[in-house]
Structure 1
Amino acid sequence: MLSLEELAVRLFDAGAVRLGDIEAKIGRRTPIYFDLRVVVSHPQIMLSVAQHLEKLAKDINHELLCGVPYAALPLAAVMSINTNTPMIMKRKETKMYATKRILEGIFEKNQKCLVVEDVVTSGGSLMETVSTLRSEGLEVTHAVVVLDRDQGGVSVLKQNGIEVKSIFSLTGLLRILNEAGKISDETVDIILEHIKECQFSNLDFMKDNLEIMSL
C-alpha cells in the first residue's frame, strides 16, 4: 500500500487533480477539480486507494458495500474482493423492465451498508445514494470517501445521520502536494480562499436537490 504522501503525488501525476478555472456541478466554478475516474487506468493507484478505504472501514460495523455511481463503483468492487464483503450497486435510474430494480445485488432489509464515495463537496450525491438505500430498508450510518473538500459537506451528512471518514481532506492534500513541489504557495492560497468562500450547509443541500429534481 502506498503511503498517503506517495498516493497524493501519484494521483496528481495521473491527472486525478486538475487545476484552473473549472466549471463544476450546477454551474459553479472551482480552482481545483478531482476526477478520480482516471484511477481505473492505473491499477496500482486504484488498489492503494481501495486499501486506504478498507483501513478506514475496518472499525465500522457493516455487512454490505455500495459505491456511489459512477466514480466510486470500481473502488467499492476492489474493496469487496479484498475484504470478502458483499457489494450492491445503485442504478442511476430504476430499471424499466424485468426486475425493475433501483438496487442490484442480494441484500436483506435491516442489513448495515457502508457507502463508498470519491469526493464530498456539498454531500448531495452521497446523500442521494443513502436515501435510496434507506428507502429499500437498509441501515446506513457511515461512509468512507477518498477526499473531503472541506466545504461543509461532511457536516451536512452528519446532520442527516451519516458519519464520514476520509483518506484526505483538501487542506491536507494541498499541504502534501505543496511540500512535494507539485503546486505553488500561490495556488494553495487561491484554493484555500475558495474553500473559505464556498461553504455548504444543509439548506444548500436541500436547495440543490430541488434544482436537480426540477431539471
Structure 2
Amino acid sequence: MSQSRIELAGRIRAASHLTGNFLLRSGLTSTEYFDKYRFESDPVLLDAVAEQLAALVPAGTEVLAGLEMGGVPVVTALSRHTGLPAAFIRKKAKPYGTQRLAEGAEVAGRRVLVVEDVVTSGGQVVLSSADLRALGADVRQALCVIDRGQGGADALAAEGIGLLSLLTADDLRPR
C-alpha cells in the first residue's frame, strides 16, 4: 500500500473509530464501532478519499452510480474529481414525483460503475446492481472506499461484478 493510502487510512480511522458500548445490527454488542458517516461528512477528508478513488475508476465508465445513503456523498465527490456524471440509486423507487429508482444521470445503455462507501456482505450492491441492469445499465464493477472482507467480493463475483476497493478493514487497524 502506498504511503498516501496509509496516511489516508490513518485519517479515516482517527475520524471514524469510536469506543464505548454499541449495539450492532447483528444484535451483538461491541466496545468498538466504525462510524463511516464521520469521514463522509468531513469535506476535506471526503475530498482526499475521492481523489484517491478517482485513480481506480475503470476506463470506459460512463456513469457513477452512488447507492443510498452512504454512497451518495462519495459518488458526488468522485464525480467532481473524474468529471463523470453521477446517478443516485434508491433502495426502492419513491412512490411520488418522478417515481424513479435512479435519479440524476441516465443509466440505460451506459457503462455504470456502482459506488458504495463500505462493502460487508455485498448484499445491497448485488440488489442495486440487479435493479440497474433491469433499467438497461451495463454494470460490470463496483467501487468502494472500504471492503470489510466479509464475503462481499465473492457475492458480487457470483453476479459477474468485480469489486474494486481503496482500503480494506485490515488497512484501518492501528499500526
TM bracket, shorter-chain basis: 0.7 to 0.9
- CA shift at 1:9, angstroms? 1.7
Q: Could you tell me which residue of structure 1 aligns to residue 39 of structure 2?
A: 39
* Contact 2:93 2:100 (8 Å CA) reproduced: yes
SS in 2 for 1:118: strand
* Contact 1:60 1:142 (8 Å CA) reproduced: no
- CA shift at 1:156, angstroms? 1.2
Question: CA deviation digits over 1:150-193, x for unaligned, max 9?
Answer: 1111111111111011111112332xx2x2xxxxxxxxxxxxxx
Closer, same or farther: CA 168–102 of 1 in aligned 2, 3 Å: same
Alignment of 1:63-102 (within 5 A): 63-102=62-101
Q: Could you tell me which residue of structure 2 aligns to residue 163 of structure 1?
A: 162
Q: What are structure 1's unaligned runs of at least 5 residues?
A: 180-215
Aligned-partner Cα distance in 1 for 2:34–2:114: 19
- CA shift at 1:49, angstroms? 0.7
Alignment of 1:114-133 (within 5 A): 114-133=113-132
Give % identity: 34
SS in 2 for 1:168: strand
Return the letter of the residue paired with 2:137.
L
Are 1:152 and 2:146 counterparts? no
SS in 2 for 1:56: coil
- CA shift at 1:87, angstroms? 0.7
Closer, same or farther: CA 88–169 of 1 in aligned 2, 3 Å: same
* TM-score w.r.t. length of structure 1: 0.72
SS in 2 for 1:142: strand
Closer, same or farther: CA 67–160 of 1 in aligned 2, 3 Å: same
SS in 1 for 2:170: helix
Q: Could you tell me which residue of structure 1 aligns to residue 53 of structure 2?
A: 53
Q: Could you tell me which residue of structure 2 aligns to residue 8 of structure 1?
A: 9
Aligned-partner Cα distance in 2 for 1:29–1:140: 36
SS in 2 for 1:145: strand
Return the letter of the residue paired with 2:69.
Y
Aligned-partner Cα distance in 2 for 1:61–1:31: 43
Structure with the larger helix share: 1
Q: Could you tell me which residue of structure 2 aligns to residue 195 of structure 1?
A: none
- Any runs of at least 4 consecutive aligned residues in structure 1 with deviations exceeding 6 A, and if so which? none
Aligned-partner Cα distance in 2 for 1:62–1:101: 22
- CA shift at 1:22, angstroms? 3.7
- Kindly tell me the number of residue pairs found equivalent between the two proteins: 173
* TM-score w.r.t. length of structure 2: 0.87
Please give the root-mean-square deviation of Cα atoms over the aligned residues, in Å.
Answer: 2.1
Please tell me whether Structure 1 or Structure 2 has the larger radius of gyration of its CA atoms.
1
